Structure 1
Amino acid sequence: MDVLNLKDKNIVVMGVANERSIAWGAAKKLLEVGANVIFTYRKDRSKAKIEKLLEDYKEKKTAVIQCDVNSDESIQTAFGQIGEQFGVIHGIVHSVAFAHAEDLKNRFVETSREGFAFALDTSAYSLIAVTRAARPFMTEGGSIVTMSYLGAERVLEGYNVMGVAKAALEASVRYLAADLGKEGIRVNAISAGAIRTLAAKGVPSFNEALHRYEEVSPLKRNTNKEEVGDMTVVLLSDLSRGVTGETVYVDSGYHIMG
């Protein structure tokens, strides 16, 4: 019996920038368990990197579709294309976040109005916009998983406006879960530990955080994109059919420590 029940399911993965991306950890696992994976990208350089990563998965059913999450029109077009090509969407991995570099480097009190709006639009509102566009094609229910971080609930040096955006993202998960539960659609977040990704490079205190995880977490080590990928697959699968509106921590237990 396939306990995951993800074989031949159509899963949209948003936010693969390169092979280090958390989203790629999830996508790789989804391909291994037999899901059809639809990738979205914003810039052409990301498209080229995704296509290169997929060279090892030529026998799998995949698609790569342009989608700018800052544009409702682009989101509608992308999901219209996905719906046309695949019919039903069974799941979404939303791993999209961005803030201007100066809003991470400066003190939080110096965050600009434009920088605040941009970070929240890209990192939190995009989940709502994507869910709305995908909903007409999620006719069999399904599962949506987004990526958060501990900075949503604690002050982490250099995380600044992104912490506020992640807090908004986690609240959005709860409200979307309440909204869509009656349609059989579940919405959850994964709060991942410190992982070396392209996005992490933009956080000034990131290297310090890596060492702290090794010292402080119960498991005395960092997590990795494979562990986050495994949990993403669980949350997309029937194994978690009773779980919605949750933030699940995959951080070697770091968040429980004082």
Structure 2
Amino acid sequence: MNDIIDLCGKRGLVVGIANEQSIAAGCAHVFRAAGADLAITYLNEKAEPYVRAVAETLPASIIMPCDVSVPGQLEAVFARIRRDWGKLDFVLHSIAFAPAGDLRASLVDCSAEGFALAMDISCHSFIRTAKLALPLMTDGGSLMTLSFYGAERAVDHYNLMGPVKAALESSVRYLAADLAARRVHVHAISAGAVKTRAASGIEHFDLLLDEVRARTPAQHLVTIEEIGRIAAVLASEAGMTLTGSTIYADGGFHVVA
């Protein structure tokens, strides 16, 4: 690990690991390699064995359930962090959801209920997370969330997640302005297309991967570890002059697409 990415003594929360192949897992491994102590969450009992497998390889100090749609679960995670650690230095928010029927429908055909649910889980949960993290970030900190190029350009089959991710990126800018005086830095990481279980819900995602690979300057899809290194810089002192931006971890795809 490069010395400039030094997270020794820092404590971070990673929300949204699904399994070993998820972007959040790649980030968690890099955070740990850089010296951070971690708390991680799993969605539900079905996901728990896959996330615990990641937790054991890290290892993570805290592992808890966190379904942001269940009242009290997100708050319980922060209550545990306050009890065990008393402070928090960074958070990686890697949560996105839309009902399958609404995700696969064109935007004009998505339901109001599906759109609202996608916005609540994928965007508003980051704002909730920021509010809960603030009292624990007594020495400043870093809040990170994951986005995608479909937030700023119309991407085939991305559908309602495009407007939802656009709202998420806008929330990053407003949170960055709101929290700057507290030395809390806020970032969106626009990750390149990665084959994950979450992405498999997007219709024709394999075709999208092929198109992205062909149009990326080096014709190389980014890996979860490469995205993790960007996240680690943003969580470190080296990233503290950055805030409010969307950082592209996509191999340059966004400059030629």
Same fold (TM over 0.5): yes
Contact 1:72 1:129 in 2 (8 A): no
Q: Does 1:7 align with 2:3?
A: no
Give 4+ residue runs of structure 1 displaced > 4 Å after superposition. Answer: none
Partner of 2:180: 181
Residue 53 of structure 1 and its aligned partner are, at CA, apart by 2.1
Q: Does 1:196 align with 2:178?
A: no
Partner of 2:35: 34
- In structure 1, what residue type is equivalent to 2:152? E
Contact 2:106 2:160 in 1 (8 A): no
Residue 72 of structure 1 and its aligned partner are, at CA, apart by 5.1
Residue 239 of structure 1 and its aligned partner are, at CA, apart by 1.0
**How far, CA to CA, are the matches of 1:213 and 1:32 in structure 2?**
29
Q: Give secondary structure in 2 for the equivalent of 1:89.
A: coil
Q: Does 1:169 align with 2:168?
A: yes
Q: Does 1:147 align with 2:118?
A: no
Partner of 1:224: 223
**How far, CA to CA, are the matches of 2:207 and 2:60 in structure 1?**
40
**How far, CA to CA, are the matches of 1:204 and 1:2 in structure 2?**
41
Partner of 1:251: 250
Residue 2 of structure 1 and its aligned partner are, at CA, apart by 4.8
**Equivalences for residues 49-60 of structure 1 within 5 A:** 49-57=50-58, 60=59
Contact 2:6 2:35 in 1 (8 A): no
**How far, CA to CA, are the matches of 1:229 and 1:238 in structure 2?**
16
Partner of 1:21: 22
Residue 48 of structure 1 and its aligned partner are, at CA, apart by 1.9
The percentage of aligned residue pairs carrying the same residue is 39
Contact 1:15 1:95 in 2 (8 A): yes
**How far, CA to CA, are the matches of 2:194 and 2:60 in structure 1?**
28
- In structure 2, what residue type is equivalent to 1:227? E
Residue 61 of structure 1 and its aligned partner are, at CA, apart by 5.2
Q: Give secondary structure in 2 for the equivalent of 1:18.
A: coil
**How far, CA to CA, are the matches of 1:248 and 1:110 in structure 2?**
31
Partner of 1:48: 49
Contact 2:26 2:228 in 1 (8 A): yes
**How far, CA to CA, are the matches of 1:152 and 1:71 in structure 2?**
26
Q: Give secondary structure in 2 for the equivalent of 1:160.
A: coil
Residue 237 of structure 1 and its aligned partner are, at CA, apart by 0.7
Q: What TM-score do you get using the length of structure 1 for normalisation?
A: 0.95
Partner of 1:83: 82
Residue 74 of structure 1 and its aligned partner are, at CA, apart by 2.1
Q: Give secondary structure in 1 for the equivalent of 2:162.
A: helix
Q: Does 1:209 align with 2:208?
A: yes
Residue 246 of structure 1 and its aligned partner are, at CA, apart by 0.6
Partner of 2:66: 67
- Listed one character per residue, the Cα deviations across residues 125-160 of structure 1 (whole Å, up to 9, x for unaligned) are 000001101111111100011000011011111111
**How far, CA to CA, are the matches of 2:91 and 2:201 in structure 1?**
25
Q: What TM-score do you get using the length of structure 2 for normalisation?
A: 0.96
Point out where structure 1 has 5 or more consecutive residues left out of the alignment: none
Q: Give secondary structure in 2 for the equivalent of 1:17.
A: coil
- In structure 1, what residue type is equivalent to 2:100? A
Across the aligned residues of Structure 1 and Structure 2, the Cα RMSD in angstroms comes to 1.4
The range that moved more, 74-83 or 141-150, is 74-83
**How far, CA to CA, are the matches of 2:165 and 2:57 in structure 1?**
33
- In structure 1, what residue type is equivalent to 2:34? V
The range that moved more, 1-10 or 83-92, is 1-10
Contact 1:47 1:64 in 2 (8 A): no
The range that moved more, 37-46 or 109-118, is 37-46
Residue 71 of structure 1 and its aligned partner are, at CA, apart by 4.1
